[in-house]
Amino acid sequence: MVAPDTPTSRVALIGNPNTGKSTLFAALVGVRQHVANYPGVTVEKKTGWMTCDGRRCELIDLPGLYSLAARSRDEMVAVDVLLGRQDGAGPPDAVLAIVDACNLQRNFYLLSQVLEMGLPTVLAVNMSDLAAGRGIVLDIVGLAQRLGVGVVAVQANRGVGVAQLKTALAEAIRQGPLRPPDLWPAAFEQEVTRLEETLAGGGAKPPAAQAALPRCLVRRLLLDTDGYVQRALLPDADGRVARELRAGRQRLAEAGCPVPAVETAVRYDWARSVLEGVLAEPGHYRMTATDRIDRWLTHRLWGTLVFALVMFLVFQAVFVGAQPARWGIDWATGRLAGWITASLPEGALRSLLAEGVVGGVGSVLGFLPQILILFFFIALLEDCGYMARAAYLMDRLMSRVGLSGRSFIPMLSSFACAVPGIMAARVIANERDRLTTIAVIPLLTCAARLQVYALLIAAFIPGTSWLGGLVGLQGLVLAALYALGIATAVAAALVLKRTILRGRTPPFLLELPSYKWPSARTVAHRVAERGWIFLHAAGTLILAVAVVVWAAAYYPHDRRAVAPLLGQQGELQTRLAALGPEDPGRQEGLEELARLQNQIAAVYQRNSFLGQLGRTIEPVVKPLGWDWRIGCCVLASLPAREIVIATLGVVYGAGKDAGGQSAEAAGRLQSWLQAATWEGTDRPVFTLPVALSLLVFYALCMQCAATLAVIRRETNSWRWPIFVFGYMTVLAYVAALVTYQAGAYWTG
């Protein structure tokens, strides 16, 4: 226990990707962690609490980085946190830097940038057991003396060295700031001093409290030839600063310190000098188990086949394994809704609780099994080291559409459900690639679309077959819808990468970590974390949308509009009450009662706000071959696409249970749709061109509140969900219009 008056400190955890940073974070803080987003950016902010020798410490897990050279707002987060420019909380009291013992020289590039800031620092050397297995010997004591900071060997996945790490952090906080290492040639430091004097001369004050920039950021101004740092730090600077930067870089080039190449040279020279004498590496690395496995798993042919098998198993687990849980959730919510219906009198409250609240909660929980299963496999594959190999194998394919290999797994998993696919896009480090992936994932055919496809294809696509039944027209239409989604997603990615998300794509830099047994604690934490984020952030919005759509479909609920039908229902119920269970005519009476109830529900729907809106937009949807009832169904299915099936049953008088899980229910709805006519005419509503138009629309539209809510959560902005909803709706409308008009012309 920690006393309430115990002093608290803030510690920032930083390191390269694939160094075990997330595993170490979980080992240090356990379940005492919180996940949010930094204000104004898409980077996840993960914090937790730990105790270091009686001192309560907040640990901040910074994004995995190879360098502190920021090229975007998201990459600037780590710099801002370390310098105390984020949230006005001040710099952290200490920095915990983690490095991979097998790749020290490469990891020391980032370490040198951290030490330059002068903050109290502790170095965690992770995977020391794997390094020893490769014949690498590191003198921890000698390295600590060279660096002037505490150095601890750890095995994060086993919790080895965690206690010593906490002790070292407490000592570093007590000792205070460090003296930054002397890295730079004299000519470069002279230019930094000259630039500091220019900035102090006025007209280029930084916006944050008008304070002078730290010397490390002044260096970054000189080194950043892209100009992002200048725009971020000095947005109102006059041309004098830009001219001084150009002149300074020119003088450095003439002095033999060309920018930005000088940074790479000085940092790696420093790393070599620090490690010389304390790091002993074998002349020839012995063949490890990782090397032997990678001969197969990174092979272009065998590696691709293994990857295809792994993805097939993951996909099947997400697609099939979640079904029993979803059925259980549907059964439980159905029983609860039935109990509410039986317990409360007919009215708005009963309908709100049974259909709005319980139905909304059911739609939220229905996504959870897929999310948990997908993130279980992602966490497992990441922690054992295979995820990096998968990204490497798929990079060649994905680069053709302007993305990297890391986009493949989120996109593949989206064929089961877009929600976990979008959440899985967090494995993509590059911001533009991540936003592009998120923006096109909803175009890929998910399981919810299959229910709509199955209904309309079975009802309106002829069952023609060829080659002895091996090839059928209905199957070809289904395959074409999948292909349409894939082709459109590829085209959309190409367009986005060349327009609003254009920019220089950084080279696909990927470190292949050694294979290791995954940590059960780390996997469990990641799965639980993703599930809670979905329920807390996206689930509340989905529930709210479900309730709003229920209200639009329920009110004004004018009983006068159905008075004649209610009278007939009352008379029929009176006659049925007088009949015994075995009396002739009872079954026919029950069927007649069900038809009357369906007609009443259809009239209520027609006169509801949703029905009125559907009639209002009929001129817009009529060119697609739709009547107002189809338009009403499309509007009602905003919370989730599959809702369109129950809504079709209501508006066309077949009942909201039509089209359900049983073949009988589905067949009943298909018969009603085939018999439906335009109001006041005998012209059928659903023809082959209309069915194809509706299929194409649902293949491309954004009818999923859960997806929009997760996009909002993952991008930390409403701009992206609005953009995705807008472009997909326009795309779906145009494609459906072309499909119907071409089909109507073709069929004459």
Averaged over 648-675, what is the pLDDT? Answer: 59
Same domain assignment for residues 231 and 310: no
Same domain assignment for residues 238 and 199: yes
282 domain-assigned:
no
pLDDT tens figures, 182-210: 888 999 999 889 888 888 765 445 544 44
Say if residue 522's pLDDT is above 70. yes
Same domain assignment for residues 18 and 45: yes
Quote the crossing angle between the two packed helices 643-651 and 663-675, to the nearest 10°. 50
Averaged over 130-158, what is the pLDDT? Answer: 89
In degrees rounded to 5, what are phi and psi of residue 12? -100, 130
Same domain assignment for residues 141 and 202: no
pLDDT number for residue 488: 94
Average pLDDT along the chain: 81
Say if residue 508's pLDDT is above 70. no
pLDDT number for residue 149: 93
Count of domains for the chain = 4
User: For residue 532, what are the contacts with CB-CB under 8 A and spacing of at least 6?
Assistant: none
pLDDT number for residue 466: 81
640 domain-assigned:
yes
pLDDT number for residue 285: 61
pLDDT number for residue 732: 95
Same domain assignment for residues 565 and 639: yes
pLDDT number for residue 334: 81
Calculate what percentage of the chain has a pLDDT beyond 70. 85
pLDDT number for residue 8: 83
Averaged over 204-231, what is the pLDDT? Answer: 72
Integer Cα distance of 588 and 586 in angstroms: 5
Same domain assignment for residues 308 and 240: no
Q: Output the CA–CA distances (angstroms, integers) from residue 227 to 72, 222, 242, 504, in the order listed.
A: 11, 9, 9, 14
Same domain assignment for residues 675 and 699: yes
Same domain assignment for residues 315 and 357: yes
The residue range of the domain holding 388 is 297-475+499-521
pLDDT classification of 166: cutoffs 50, 70, 90: very high
290 domain-assigned:
no
Query: Is the distance from CB of 611 to CB of 580 less than 8 angstroms?
Result: no
Q: Output the CA–CA distances (angstroms, integers) from residue 567 to 558, 562, 573, 668, in the order listed.
A: 15, 9, 10, 26
Averaged over 339-349, what is the pLDDT? Answer: 84
For the ranges 131-145, 339-353, 570-584, 722-736, which has the lowest average pLDDT? 570-584
Kindly report the CATH number assigned to the domain that includes residue 141: 3.40.50.300
pLDDT number for residue 658: 47
Say if residue 521's pLDDT is above 80. no
pTM of the predicted model, to two decimals? 0.66
Same domain assignment for residues 122 and 151: yes
Query: Is the distance from CB of 12 to CB of 95 less than 8 angstroms?
Result: yes
Same domain assignment for residues 710 and 615: yes
pLDDT classification of 662: cutoffs 50, 70, 90: very low
Domain ends where: 126, 150, 175?
Answer: 175
Q: Mapping DSSP to helix (H, G, I), strand (E, B) and coil, where does residue 227 land?
A: coil
pLDDT classification of 303: cutoffs 50, 70, 90: confident
pLDDT number for residue 153: 93
Q: Select, from the ranges 339-343, 518-522, 623-627, the one with the highest average predicted confidence (pLDDT).
A: 623-627
Say if residue 738's pLDDT is above 80. yes
Say if residue 306's pLDDT is above 90. no
1 domain-assigned:
no
60 domain-assigned:
yes
485 domain-assigned:
no
528 domain-assigned:
no
pLDDT number for residue 1: 45
Integer Cα distance of 630 and 306 in angstroms: 45
Q: Mapping DSSP to helix (H, G, I), strand (E, B) and coil, where does residue 215 land?
A: helix
Same domain assignment for residues 162 and 220: no
Q: Select, from the ranges 164-168, 202-206, 240-244, the one with the highest average predicted confidence (pLDDT).
A: 164-168
pLDDT number for residue 551: 83
Domain ends where: 491, 521, 551?
Answer: 521
Same domain assignment for residues 429 and 304: yes
pLDDT classification of 287: cutoffs 50, 70, 90: low
Picking from 215, 204, 219, the residue whose alpha carbon sits closest to that of residue 259 is: 219
Calculate what percentage of the chain has a pLDDT beyond 90. 19
pLDDT number for residue 238: 63
Domain ends where: 117, 143, 175?
Answer: 175
pLDDT tens figures, 114-143: 999 899 999 999 988 888 878 888 999 999
pLDDT tens figures, 91-113: 899 999 999 988 898 899 999 99
Averaged over 372-397, what is the pLDDT? Answer: 80
272 domain-assigned:
no
pLDDT number for residue 505: 59
Higher-confidence position of 537 and 483: 483
pLDDT classification of 599: cutoffs 50, 70, 90: confident
pLDDT number for residue 653: 53
Q: Select, from the ranges 238-252, 368-382, 404-418, 710-724, the one with the highest average predicted confidence (pLDDT).
A: 710-724
Quickly count helices (H) and strands (E) in the chain. Answer: 34, 11
pLDDT classification of 212: cutoffs 50, 70, 90: confident
Integer Cα distance of 561 and 729 in angstroms: 34
pLDDT number for residue 80: 84
